[in-house]
Amino acid sequence: MTEKKELILETALKLFAERGFDTTPTSMIAKEAGVSEGLIFRHFTNKEGLMDAILAMSEERMARHVKSIVALAEPLAKIHATIELPVKLFSEEREFWKLQFSLKWQKKYRGQSYRPSGYYLELVEVITDAFRQLGYAEPEKEVLLLVMLIDGLSNQLMQQPSEAFIEQTLSFLKSKYQLDKLKS
């Protein structure tokens, strides 16, 4: 990837995360990146193409994280790693994941409603299976609850809470899923 193309992607990511996709014109991206708007169109065709490139990067990054969770042998370890995932994502690349998380609430780019990625769906399947292996009577409902908790945690992470808050929250959430506390 060329240096200018990378700069455009990084700048668009930053502005989309801060301002939203719908309210960030390509002229602003060009100005902030110090490139011509024509260069953006040459590399990405239009603003949607630019967002497509960012979302493709998202798929690659998420694939790594999901594969590491899938590779864990113990079902409880998979659940705990899933609980830790938003903290890991936000600490590694805050703007990138802030954009991913916020797309659910923005006007829909390409006029489409939000659809979870293939890797998100794979993770849901893996966690559902983990709950099933641990003997939960309704693993699908457990996953729905866990997803709501993780969405809430992600929302808090966007507000940049203290490290102490993050550690206490992770500890509390993981304490809900301990072998000695499992109930069917």
For the chain, the structural domain boundaries read 1-45, 57-178
- pTM more than 0.85: no
For position 182, what pLDDT does the model report?
58
Tens digit of each residue's pLDDT (9 = 90 or more) over 98-125: 787 777 666 656 555 556 778 889 999 9
When the candidates are 3.90.230.10, 1.20.1440.130, 1.10.10.60, 2.120.10.70, the CATH number that belongs to 1-45 is 1.10.10.60
Tokens of 151: 């969405």
Q: What is the pLDDT of residue 62?
A: 84
Under-70 pLDDT residues of the chain: 1, 104-115, 180-184
Q: Is the Cβ–Cβ distance between 101 and 156 less than 8 Å? A: no
Note the pLDDT of residue 107: 61
- Do residues 8 and 44 lie in contact, with contact meaning Cβ atoms separated by under 8 Å? yes
Name the amino acid, one letter, at 5: K
